[in-house]
Amino acid sequence: MTLFITLIFASGCTEFALLMSGGSAVISQNSYTKMYNAVDLGVVLTTKKGIKTHAYEKGKKYIYDNTIKLFGNNH
């Protein structure tokens, strides 16, 4: 599941679209968008949060936890 989601995010980058030829880039991005939206809908229905919200919260927690480890809890 994680690998599938990672591939969806990685293939949605603008660099990927620039590497693809004109017509196939639109078709590829459209199919990836449909797959992402389908997976995102399933995630929202089960967890009440979207994939982007989960990624944001995990990233924020990761940064906070590593900052505390690096600088200590002086506050």
What are 26-73's pLDDT values in tens digits?
Answer: 556 678 888 889 999 999 999 999 999 999 999 999 999 888 887 876
Contacts of 31 (CB under 8 A, 6+ apart): none
pTM: 0.51
Task: Kindly list the domain boundaries of the chain, sorted by start residue.
Answer: 2-71
How far is residue 16 CA from its own chain's centroid?
15
Angle, helix 51-71 to helix 22-47, in steps of 10 degrees = 80
Q: Specify the range with the lowest mean pLDDT, choosing from 3-7, 15-19, 38-42.
A: 15-19
